[in-house]
Amino acid sequence: MLNPAGESQSKRFHIVGIGASAGGLEAFLEFLRALPSHTGMAFVVVQHLEPHYKSQLPEILARATEMPVLKAEEGQKVEADHVYVIPPNTVMVIQNGALHLAPRNCFTSRPSVTTGAGDFETG
């Protein structure tokens, strides 16, 4: 049996979606500071930002946790005990254990993450 990350039962882990508006930075930081570095879960952070805003969110969040904090990239494998930050102006799908990115179209007003279990959006 496969989990939403596309791994077998023996490597099964949860993927946690966390979203906030542009003012949610402090909540992200508090959340990550409160977590142990080995949770057995992966975390996907979605923040609502202007489409062309150059985000420093991965670098800022990395100061709050010992887990690796990465800007999500196309085809990147999702790993437990990692934090993935969606890039601005992007829609992300998690399929077969990997992140897949696409530009957010002009009709979508909020960034989103889609997994086999549903969508995560901020707004």
- 79 or 1: which carries more pLDDT confidence? 79
Half-sphere exposure of 118 (CA within 13 A, CB side): 4
- pLDDT for 119 equals 46
Amino acid identity, position 72: A
pTM over 0.75: yes
Q: What fold characterizes domain 9-121? A: Rossmann fold (3.40.50)
Give mean pLDDT, residues 26-30: 96
Work out the percent of the chain whose per-residue pLDDT is above 70.
77
Is the CB of residue 111 less than 8 Å from the CB of residue 84? no
* Domain residue ranges in the chain: 9-121
